[in-house]
Structure 1
């Protein structure tokens, strides 16, 4: 807690001045005995914040209790929303600390390329303060005229899939927008949530958490790697981390099909048939026939065995499964796992996923008209991959294995990954997890990080047995561990696709029916399948 307070005191930039002013809210204005600070009601908060801020009492609904919602733009165009369970001043009741508040802050992550401000309902439902940010841009901002240039700030409506907020029309990449999206906005979000918590309740948060999946998962790892002493715990799901490698790698399926098969592409029926055949061939590798590939890294099914595929189609499928390689045939990144639909990264069997193409256009090549079909090939793909890795290595990688601050703060991370994710292939998590093990050892990593891989789940939350949602059960386990209880060892998954229940153990432990066998060393084949020849050192 002391390290966290010191971190909060080391603020920089315009946001620091606003936060410093916020610190003075409870200071007496006249000489004499210090009166006991009076905590403000929600209606009074806005008058004590920057002019852009609003504070609104939100009425209860059948599923969400009443709360005080604060919207503020602390710096640049970073919008932050903070939802506070009602304090005693607003007649909140039922909380363990003040009013309806239980003493924690849960900073919630975003999705895709963000640009939308959400309400952190999950936190409020638990009686905790919640926060969220649009990461420094939205459609209105993208379309607004920049007075310095006389042109819009960015691509119309933020461009394809919202990823064009980093590129002004006819201009160069906005490094400030990249910075805001990757980390600055998240720091602003978190520090303002903590400061407003103290202002509204008159007490500091007992615990500070991060919770998010997909982009929110990447944000969680970014905070752990960059501000590891600012949080007590993190719930991180199927993260879009390794930003400078994973996105360009996921352009690979479209490039392969375009290069090998031309405009006709690979029909979804044929790729589906290949994935079904892979599942049938690798289903029982774990000793259980349940229609699922439990460990995709151990499935090496060859698409040439699939009836109805031409030699070129089978070659394309195998290359998509295996992932891109360099000129020497060494792995650059992992591919779509066998048994996972190609439809997200290869829509219609011919296209490139919009979330991937927008990165290629605006982020990587800074060209809104970039035509990947004529510019990217199997042969030059290693150059594109290397360009992406170099370009954002220092600003947007989110792949640093140095968790020294997390370890010193004794913070805890529950990390969960879905192994049939068609959007963020799980290789990025396999790779980062193995690199953590290489650095700290299995035992050292598990002091702070517990990882769970859920098979037969796409880009969504898994389903667990029991009445509570997976998010609730996973966060409950994190909270218990963070606040002095035992570390989570397993979860019981209910497979929505097959109806099968299975025990998911903390990796690399081995599931035995309803128990877990401790494993202290990652099997060599899985370790090798998780590395690349170009991993950061």
Structure 2
């Protein structure tokens, strides 16, 4: 193992206003972390003691800052994955680890990766986990490095695997004892990594929390490319502004909100919403500015986006966007001026290896090419979880039903494919795989419902939640209770939060295939007004 000069010089502490007394030995062990540490192809870049309350800047402009929630040793590692690729990772090792269950928690990345999600690391290290994060094999949120197939392999699967192994080694080395349980949590592309682990490396984690997983990745990129082409550039006849999408959402609610038995601005089962956007169609001489209506071209845009995506010969590719979630995050606007950055980059740097490729060149033959190739296993859709079942480890999946970036239908499709492939009913899957649809939750976070469940990529969007919401009710700790106490979750507790993280309502979302059903009376923000049917 190599020890960098940075590690040798890393004795500077990051000070905070207040901190509990910490044993000098802990600080000394942190400063000298590199001494005796061995892990294949791993270099210690730095080891720094951080006080609770310290403000930590995030690297590479991935975000602004995060405040530490524990006294911990911050270890930064470089893991070489090939002659032309590497993974930068960190381990945040808190002082109270030994009396908090000796647990490790790997945090996932987002989008094209390149950024450690420090907010999740701060939250979970504050709960006593040895919190691990990695950059998925490249720096920043861009995909240009994927022209190197080794960097692409890191993003697809290898980064999380080597970070897992190095993170476990670092934890065991620092505390001079073996960790007890290991957990993974990730949303979106981090959720895709979660499924990849469950499918191909089921022995690595005792518990895996997958949120809104980007399963069927090439299919997702095809769908986004077609959406980008459908919506068009800002100002084109097919384009809708944010205000117009809000009108579409209002019309959706007017038609469908009452289907679940209560008018609360939330679609409990969006699949039952047969939305007809023609109610917004402009009549002769009418305009958006004067009448708040849409043109025929705009109505066609809405209808196409709400419909499944097909390729040549009617081949099914991907579900349409979910009703009831379009304006909640403003995501749809990215299909205008920045037209389809995700599929464009996938095509430029992986599929075509041509940095000048533009979506104007995209056609259905290209769509078939994207879907038909393996791309180092990026689909992450294997439906045989026999290895996970045999290991005794657990997979907990949830997906927001107002997610417009990754439609929740894909999680239903994946769950049902596992059921069919393994010839197991839901009761047969329950011992190792459970799925919770969360109404009113957008992509990973945000949305209009009771949507804070205490999972990946949530604490940064809900200021105060880490202090005001009981961590024991979180999705993460529900997974811990399932793994360590055998308390399998039947519902997933969610909170509707105010601007300061105060609780405005609660709801217990039911395990699929049961449905969260309004009892017909009571405040819909009260969890007692709902039941599983």
TM-score range, shorter chain: 0.7 to 0.9
Once residues 450 and 211 of structure 1 are traced to their aligned partners in structure 2, the CA distance between those partners, rounded to angstroms, is 15
In structure 2, the partner of 1:375 is: 361
Q: How does 1:207-218 map to 2 (within 5 A)?
A: 207-218=181-192
In structure 1, the partner of 2:431 is: 447
Normalised by the length of structure 1, the TM-score is 0.75
Question: Does the 8 A contact of 1:178 with 1:396 survive in 2?
Answer: no
In structure 2, the partner of 1:277 is: 251
In structure 2, the partner of 1:150 is: none
In structure 2, the partner of 1:164 is: 144
Once residues 416 and 192 of structure 1 are traced to their aligned partners in structure 2, the CA distance between those partners, rounded to angstroms, is 28
Once residues 488 and 214 of structure 2 are traced to their aligned partners in structure 1, the CA distance between those partners, rounded to angstroms, is 25
In structure 2, the partner of 1:322 is: 307
Question: Does the 8 A contact of 1:463 with 1:470 survive in 2?
Answer: no
Structure 1: unaligned runs, 5 residues or longer:
1-14, 19-37, 87-93, 140-160, 168-173, 519-537
State which of 342, 352, 355 in structure 1 corresponds to 2:342. Answer: 355
Cα distance 1:491–1:482, how it changes in 2: closer, same or farther (>3 A)?
A: same
In structure 1, the partner of 2:162 is: 188
In structure 2, the partner of 1:339 is: 324
Question: Does the 8 A contact of 1:234 with 1:414 survive in 2?
Answer: yes
In structure 2, the partner of 1:107 is: 106
Cα distance 1:517–1:423, how it changes in 2: closer, same or farther (>3 A)?
A: closer
Question: Does the 8 A contact of 2:156 with 2:376 survive in 1?
Answer: no
Cα distance 1:345–1:353, how it changes in 2: closer, same or farther (>3 A)?
A: farther
Structure 2: unaligned runs, 5 residues or longer:
4-24, 55-67, 282-292, 446-450, 455-464, 520-527
C-alpha deviations, 1:433-491, integer Å up to 9, x for none?
22122223212222212211112222233225994267961111111111123211113
In structure 1, the partner of 2:488 is: 487
C-alpha deviations, 1:391-411, integer Å up to 9, x for none?
335521111112122111111
Cα distance 1:42–1:427, how it changes in 2: closer, same or farther (>3 A)?
A: same
Q: How does 1:287-436 map to 2 (within 5 A)?
A: 287-307=261-281, 308-341=293-326, 343-347=330-334, 349=336, 351-372=338-359, 374-376=360-362, 380-381=363-364, 383-392=365-374, 394-436=376-418
In structure 2, the partner of 1:239 is: 213
Question: Does the 8 A contact of 1:250 with 1:345 survive in 2?
Answer: no
SS in 2 for 1:162: coil
Q: CA deviation at 1:74?
A: 2.4
Task: Establish whether residue 137 from structure 1 lines up as the match of residue 138 from structure 2.
Answer: yes
Q: Which range is displaced more, 114-123 or 394-403?
A: 114-123
SS in 2 for 1:248: helix
In structure 2, the partner of 1:56 is: 48
Once residues 500 and 315 of structure 1 are traced to their aligned partners in structure 2, the CA distance between those partners, rounded to angstroms, is 37
Cα distance 1:192–1:394, how it changes in 2: closer, same or farther (>3 A)?
A: closer
C-alpha deviations, 1:108-141, integer Å up to 9, x for none?
11122121245422332111211111111115xx
Once residues 391 and 429 of structure 1 are traced to their aligned partners in structure 2, the CA distance between those partners, rounded to angstroms, is 21
Cα distance 1:305–1:330, how it changes in 2: closer, same or farther (>3 A)?
A: farther
Once residues 289 and 127 of structure 1 are traced to their aligned partners in structure 2, the CA distance between those partners, rounded to angstroms, is 41
Number of aligned residue pairs: give it.
Answer: 442
Q: CA deviation at 1:351?
A: 4.8
In structure 2, the partner of 1:459 is: 443
C-alpha deviations, 1:192-215, integer Å up to 9, x for none?
111222222222111111012222
Cα distance 1:276–1:384, how it changes in 2: closer, same or farther (>3 A)?
A: farther
Question: Does the 8 A contact of 2:453 with 2:475 survive in 1?
Answer: no
Q: How does 1:257-272 map to 2 (within 5 A)?
A: 257-258=231-232, 262=236, 265-272=239-246
SS in 1 for 2:251: helix
Once residues 414 and 84 of structure 1 are traced to their aligned partners in structure 2, the CA distance between those partners, rounded to angstroms, is 25
